[in-house]
Amino acid sequence: MSKKKTDAPATPAASGAPAASNGIASGAAAAMLRAPAELMFAHELEALIQNDKYDKPPGWKMSPRAVLTYICGGKAGSLDISPKYIGYQRLVEIAISTLVTDRALLLIGEPGTAKSWLSEHLAAAINGDSTKVVQGTAGTTEEQIRYTWNYAMLIAHGPSHDALIKSPIFRSMESGSLARFEEITRTASEVQDALISIMSEKRISVPELATEVPAAKGFSIIATANTRDRGVNDMSAALKRRFNIVVLPTPNTLETEIDIVRKRVKELAANLELKAQLPAEDAIEKVVTIFRELRTGQTLDGKNKLKTPSGVLSTAEAISVLANSMALAGNFGTGEVTAHDIAAGLQGSIVKDEEKDKTVWHEYLSNVLKKRGAEWRPLFTACAEHNE
Ligand SMILES: Nc1ncnc2c1ncn2[C@@H]1O[C@H](COP(=O)(O)OP(=O)(O)OP(=O)(O)O)[C@@H](O)[C@H]1O
Ligand SMILES: [Mg+2]
């Protein structure tokens, strides 16, 4: 039987209870261009917490099994939990169990394989707060990983607790929750290494205040890194050893990728209030087919070798092509997505480098799409017109 939970819910209930643990009121979610996962799926998180029969690790809002249900889909009482990550459940299990240990989690993979998406949903389920994020860039400094100062206060009164500006990682250590580090390998290696002491000693020292802050139980880091950027600032072996690495693959079958794209386009369209009908099933299939063929450099039947364009043809790009085509259809068309709406999006996402990609796309159109017969004819004609 389910234990009655007495803790405060992680997130506001769908009924509109105020203030999630990240401080954003639930009513505000509708006004946001993109609400954090804990607000978008507040009702699911709430139901999972209420129906959780298993033990929660320290600092967690729900048990690892409930987190798995939240990510991969299932039931919480009578409520259907929608799958967030579509793919190998085992990978998600490994990711969740890593966070129960004292090792941090590094999600790597090609662009658009849902690394950030999974990281956000894991933090939302485990803590009800996915917003403690450090965004890795070439300009990320050690202060953004550790702490910095309010300089006006520092100059006026010297170092004090009040003048300390804590990084999201520092705040996660204090509260015993998850911090996210996006695109960690874009940050210079010396800066990344500021994490080594945090992750091995589980404390952060503030020498100016002659103090050390220990991490509370529940603290961990979920980092993401793109395999395409990896060479730029590869992680030091010392840092890599402190992470469990989970590689997120590109969807292995056409059907899986179509499922992901269909589901996300529907969610995006609802969120952005795009005034158009969802693209027809065969339009989704065609876009995903084109993406898969150009990505792998061969037709799905393996008979023709193809040149690949310079840009990344990820699942995420396919989602945005279809969302863009809906925006075109909704605003400048009849509301029904046409081959021309899709062709405009395809051209933009495939032809990134004007010279080279235009030729690759042209060759694909005339050597592959043109020969596919009547069913592909409208899309072929629209694409050929756009590529002139
Ligand atoms: N397997 C999948 N299951 C569910 N959604 C997916 C999957 N693969 C891709 N997506 C969708 O693709 C979109 C992009 O994902 P996300 O931004 O997390 O990619 P990423 O791996 O972080 O890419 P990048 O390396 O460019 O940062 C999201 O909307 C996500 O829902
Ligand atoms: Mg990302």
pLDDT digits (tens, 9 = 90+) for 9-37: 333 333 333 334 444 445 677 788 888 99
Q: Measured between alpha carbons, how far is residue 336 from residues 258, 272, 276, 277, 278 in Å?
A: 19, 17, 6, 6, 8
Q: What residues pair up with 245 in beta bridges, in sequence order?
A: 106
Which of 350, 348, 338 minimizes the C-alpha distance to 381?
A: 338
Give distance in angstroms: CA of 308 to centre of ligand 2. Answer: 22
The closest-lying atom of ligand 1 relative to the alpha carbon of residue 251 is: 1
User: How many other C-beta atoms are found inside a 10 Å radius of the C-beta of residue 14?
Assistant: 15
Give 47-63 pLDDT, tens digit per residue.
999 999 999 999 999 99
Residue 85 near ligand 1, beta carbon < 6 Å:
yes
Give 172-208 pLDDT, tens digit per residue.
999 999 999 999 999 998 898 899 989 999 999 999 9
The closest-lying atom of ligand 1 relative to the alpha carbon of residue 117 is: 18
Q: Measured between alpha carbons, how far is residue 308 from residues 39, 286, 362, 384 in Å?
A: 39, 17, 12, 18
Q: What is the pLDDT confidence band of residue 310, given thresholds at 50, 70 and 90?
A: confident
Residue 51 near ligand 1, beta carbon < 6 Å:
no
| pTM for the model | 0.88
pLDDT above 80 for 137 = yes
pLDDT above 60 for 308 = yes
Q: Of the bound ligands, which one is closest to the alpha carbon of residue 111?
A: 1
Give distance in angstroms: CA of 369 to centre of ligand 1. Answer: 27
Q: CB neighbours of 286 closer than 8 A, spacing ≥ 6?
A: 342, 376, 379
User: How many other C-beta atoms are found inside a 10 Å radius of the C-beta of residue 237?
Assistant: 7
Radius of gyration of the chain (CA): 23
CB 165, CB 150: distance < 8 Å: yes
Residue 320 near ligand 1, beta carbon < 6 Å:
no
